[in-house]
Amino acid sequence: MFFPFLIHLVLNVMSPLEGEFKRKLRNMTLSVEYNTSSDLSVIENVLKKMDTTVYEVEIERAESTERHHASAIFILKMSRENRSHSGILASVAELPCVHNVAEIIA
């Protein structure tokens, strides 16, 4: 009788709390699809203008093909003053060279 309650508690209470906790952290991981490799510097400049520190850029796909756009993973840390995950996502998404941007919450 105790185990079903414990499973219910973990799945329905703890999982949403974990996601909410991770959204409030200053660390952020973005997946970005873009046109060409020269666009990486444009994306990094926008992130730095938003007072973030880019720790790492891992290129997933260096070149665009007919079926897929070039893509990279950005690992960054937001400043104490600017903790808006949605603001950073919106600023990157507004760039004309960006096709898709998503936050990776793991």
Q: How many Å from the N-terminal Cα to the C-terminal Cα in the chain?
A: 31
pLDDT for position 90: 93
Domains contained in the chain, CATH given: 26-103 (3.30.70.60)
3-state helix, strand, coil in the chain (%, to 5): 40, 30, 30
Whether pLDDT at 19 is above 70: no
| pTM listed for this prediction | 0.73
Q: pLDDT tens digits, residue range 42-100?
A: 999 999 999 899 999 999 887 777 888 899 999 999 887 776 888 899 999 999 999 99
pLDDT for position 53: 92
For residues 11 and 105, the model is more confident at 105
